[in-house]
Amino acid sequence: MRIPRPGKIVCVGRNYVEHAKELGNDVPERPLLFLKPPSALLGDGETIVLPAASSQVEHEGEIGVVIGRALRNADERAAREAVGGITCVNDVTARDLQKTDGQWTRAKGFDTFCPAGPVVWTPPPDFDLRLLRIFCRVNGTVRQAGKAADMVFSIPALLSYISQVMTLEPGDLVSTGTPAGVGPLVAGDVVEIEIPGVGVLRNPVASAV
């Protein structure tokens, strides 16, 4: 099953201090934004395909936010009210191409590089989004464990910031950055992204044939 196809997928880089450090980067002064194409979307249970162009594909478990109502030039309060749902995202990345290309479009944009789901959970209006946690497991071993409370820029701050640039429309997906622990995926792996209370997104990994 796939989540409803978003009009756009907006992603945030280096939004956890420890992850920025592990790749030798500083935490940005402002949210670092990039886009993934909606054609990269993959459903729960579907296969992540390792492209021949990369020899270093990595998982990035992330908290995904599905926009519930249009946002433009919004403050953080309005941004919080526009959170339509929470879902698990795997921001699959060809790390070698990310480094050599400079621009991240190819590294982040291959088909199957945006597993999302398995469900979209609607938080109650008074739910504190900082309580969300995110885990990534590969073949049952925990690789990443993060807390929204450790984000450099909170979910409402991110949505507000993005809305100063582009209108966020209902159904758009915002992926809020990955905690430390990113690592390689190889053919035969099974990768799971879990947000406790939301669900587990599980995808096998295979080589392109």
CA dist 157 to 15, 79, 132, 166, Å? 12, 8, 16, 14
48, 42 Cβ separation under 8 angstroms: yes
Stretch that binds Mg ion, among 35-43, 44-52, 59-67, 97-105 (CB under 5 A): 59-67
Residue 181 beta carbon to Mg ion: minimum distance, rounded to whole angstroms: 12
94, 105 Cβ separation under 8 angstroms: no
Among 156, 178, 179, 198, binds Mg ion (CB under 5 A): 178
Say how many C-beta atoms besides its own lie within 10 A of residue 165's C-beta.
12
Q: Specify the residue, 73 or 112, whose C-beta has the smaller distance to Mg ion.
A: 112
Stretch that binds Mg ion, among 17-25, 35-43, 172-180, 196-204 (CB under 5 A): 172-180
The H-assigned helical ranges of the chain are 17-22, 76-81, 95-101, 105-109, 155-163
Per-position x/- string for 103-142, each x denoting binding to Mg ion as judged by CB under 5 A, each - no binding: ----------------------------------------
Q: Specify the residue, 44 or 60, whose C-beta has the smaller distance to Mg ion.
A: 60
Q: What residues numbered 149-168 form the site for Mg ion, per CB under 5 A?
A: none
Q: How many residues bind to Mg ion according to rule CB under 5 A? A: 3
Please name which of 11, 12, 16 lies closest in space to residue 146, comparing C-alpha atoms: 16
**Per CB under 5 A, does 60 bind Mg ion?**
yes
Q: Is 157 helix (H, G, I), strand (E, B) or coil?
A: helix
Q: Specify the residue, 70 or 142, whose C-beta has the smaller distance to Mg ion.
A: 142
**Per CB under 5 A, does 194 bind Mg ion?**
no
Please name which of 85, 93, 79, 84 lies closest in space to residue 154, comparing C-alpha atoms: 79
Residue 28 beta carbon to Mg ion: minimum distance, rounded to whole angstroms: 13
**Per CB under 5 A, does 91 bind Mg ion?**
yes
**Per CB under 5 A, does 58 bind Mg ion?**
no
Strand-strand pairing, 9-13 and 48-50: unpaired
Residue of this chain nearest to Mg ion (CB atom): 91
**Per CB under 5 A, does 90 bind Mg ion?**
no
CA distance 196 to 30: 28
Residue 128 beta carbon to Mg ion: minimum distance, rounded to whole angstroms: 23
CA distance 111 to 43: 12
- Residue pointed to by tokens 């749902």: 85
Q: Which residues bind Mg ion (CB under 5 A)?
A: 60, 91, 178
